[in-house]
Each structure stands twice: as C-alpha cells, then as structure tokens.
C-alpha cells in the first residue's frame, strides 16, 4: 500500500458491508445538487506554459469540496481565475448561475467569494481585532468605509469570530507576534468577517504545527455546518482532505486527472501515480 493510500485510509471511516460508489456515480450525484460554483472547460496560459487546460468542476452549495494535485499542477492558477486575479483564456466560470470570468476581484468578492493564500496576508503591526475590522472595511471597497471608525457591532463580531478560531485571548496582540499557525487562524477569521458564501482556501494547514491542524480542520467543518459557508479547499495533506471533503478533484499537469469521493480517489491508480511522480 502506498503512502497516499495509507494516509487516505487512516482518515476515512470504515465502509464494511457497503459498496463504494464509482467515480462516474459520484460525478452524477454532484450534478444533481445545486452547484454554487461551476467551472467549465477553463484554460489559462502564461506565455508558452499551459497552467490549466480544459478544466471543469462543480462545487455544490453547502458542501466542502477538495482540490488536490502535485506541485505545479495548476491548482492555485485555477483559484486565481475563480477569484478574478487574472482573466481566463477560454471557458466559463459561473457563480450561482452568473458568469464571473470577466469580473474584477473586488466585484467577485462583493458577490460572496473570498479566498485565503498559502502565505498569510495579515497586517503585522495591527492587533488581531484591528485586522478583523479592516477586513470588513475592505469588503465594502470605499475610501469612506476604510476611514470610518468601526461600529460596536463590527467589533463585537470581530471578537466573536476570534473566539471561534481560538484567538480571543490574543486579540490585542500585534498579528506579527503570532505564530504562523495562529496567523493562519487569524486570516481564516478575517475571511469570515464579510460573511462569504464561498470560501477558497489555499493549503490552510501548510506550515502549521501538527498540534493546531485538528483544531483548524474542526473549525472549517463548523464554519460549513454552522454558518452555511461553502468551501473549496486546496490541500496537500491527504489525511486532512480525506477527512474534510465530501468530493475531491485531482489536477495533474494543468488537467483534470480524476474526481470522486474520498473513497474513490484514494483507490485511483492515476492519483497515486501522479503523487509518486509516475505520470
């Protein structure tokens, strides 16, 4: 058994006595649900480099969907395309039925799509509460909102979300004094401040102390269950993504290699080969 399969097996509950759904059956089940995000035949080149080629995926409303693949497989490029950080060359990206591939990042954010990054983007000199407050102001994208003193309700929401991610005791500390893992938790809380409908998480557990990972995964699940936020998650930690997502897409060399339930993905030889460098 490979390392990829062992990690996946350890994360998944036993299916003794049950037949596992095929990739085709899983894909059909996905299409029957309301897709909040629909990516269709998206391609993106940078000069002579093809970052994404004809990629299609669905993210059902209210669910957690995973996106995996080796380094350089095009995952972050696809996230950037969805978030409007660069135009796509061809294809379609629809959010709640609306084409968004030609919209700017700020407009897409106002529709309810928020993303985080592999490297944290917090304001190191500001304390945690101030980071939360300014993230709300930025979501409104006006100079007046940026300069206006935060209301009591905004501060109350900021402190409640800091408590949700386990940072309330550190709320008055400068963000730069937090550990990298705590900065990731702060960035997650900042993303929640604007009340997103879809949250794009780019390797949320990367670089985090293993002690903090389970707590972060638990909070991601709670944000989905309690706040109704749909999640699309890029993750290299196979144990984490197998335990977190109900459906997983795998990219390799910029193309969609496989999709299915965690049970189907962990058994797919194409996925195993991609991670072991056999493709």
| 5 pLDDT more than 70 | no
Between 89 and 17, name the one with better pLDDT: 89
pLDDT digits (tens, 9 = 90+) for 249-270: 999 999 999 999 999 999 999 9
Q: Is 95 helix (H, G, I), strand (E, B) or coil?
A: strand
> Confidence band (pLDDT; 50, 70, 90) for 20?
very low
Instruction: For the chain, give the number of residues.
Output: 279
- What pTM was computed for the model? 0.83
Between 122 and 142, name the one with better pLDDT: 122
pLDDT at 3: 45
Helix axes of 3-11 and 269-276: crossing angle, nearest 10 degrees:
120
Q: What is the dihedral of CA 116, 120, 122, 125, to 10 degrees?
A: 180
pLDDT digits (tens, 9 = 90+) for 85-109: 999 999 999 999 999 999 999 999 9
List, in sequence order, the alpha helices (H) in the chain: 3-11, 23-32, 75-83, 105-111, 128-140, 143-147, 152-164, 180-193, 210-227, 238-244, 262-267, 269-276
Q: Which residues of 132-171 are buried (b: 16+ CB within 10 A; e: fewer)?
A: bbbbbbbbeeeeeeeeeebeeebbebbbebbebbbbeebb
What would the mean pLDDT of 210-234 be, rounded to a whole number? 94
pLDDT at 17: 40
Structure tokens at 225: 């269950």
What would the mean pLDDT of 206-233 be, rounded to a whole number? 93
């Amino acid at each position: 058994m490979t390392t990829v399969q062992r990690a996946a097996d350890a994360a998944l509950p036993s299916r003794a006595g049950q037949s596992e759904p095929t990739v085709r059956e899983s894909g059909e089940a996905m299409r029957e649900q309301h897709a909040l995000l629909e990516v269709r035949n998206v391609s993106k080149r940078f000069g002579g480099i093809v970052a994404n080629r004809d990629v299609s995926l669905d993210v059902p409303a209210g669910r957690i969907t995973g996106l995996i693949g080796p380094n350089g497989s095009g995952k972050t490029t696809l996230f950037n395309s969805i978030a409007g950080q660069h135009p796509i060359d061809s294809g379609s990206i629809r959010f709640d039925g609306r084409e968004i591939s030609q919209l700017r990042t700020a407009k897409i954010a106002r529709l309810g799509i928020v993303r985080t990054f592999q490297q944290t983007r917090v304001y190191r000199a500001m304390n945690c509460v101030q980071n939360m407050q300014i993230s709300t102001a930025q979501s409104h994208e006006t100079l007046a909102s940026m300069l206006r003193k935060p209301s009591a309700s905004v501060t109350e929401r900021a402190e409640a979300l800091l408590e949700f991610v386990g940072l309330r005791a550190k709320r008055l500390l400068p963000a730069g004094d937090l550990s990298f893992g705590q900065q990731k938790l702060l960035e997650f809380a900042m993303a929640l401040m604007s009340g997103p409908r879809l949250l794009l998480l780019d390797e949320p557990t990367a670089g985090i102390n293993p002690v903090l990972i389970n707590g972060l995964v638990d909070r991601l699940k709670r944000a989905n269950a309690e706040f109704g936020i749909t999640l699309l998650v890029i993750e290299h930690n196979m144990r984490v993504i197998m335990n977190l997502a109900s459906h997983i897409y795998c990219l390799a060399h910029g193309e969609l290699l496989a999709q299915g339930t965690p049970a189907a993905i962990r058994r797919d030889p194409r996925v195993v080969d991609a991670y072991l460098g056999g493709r």
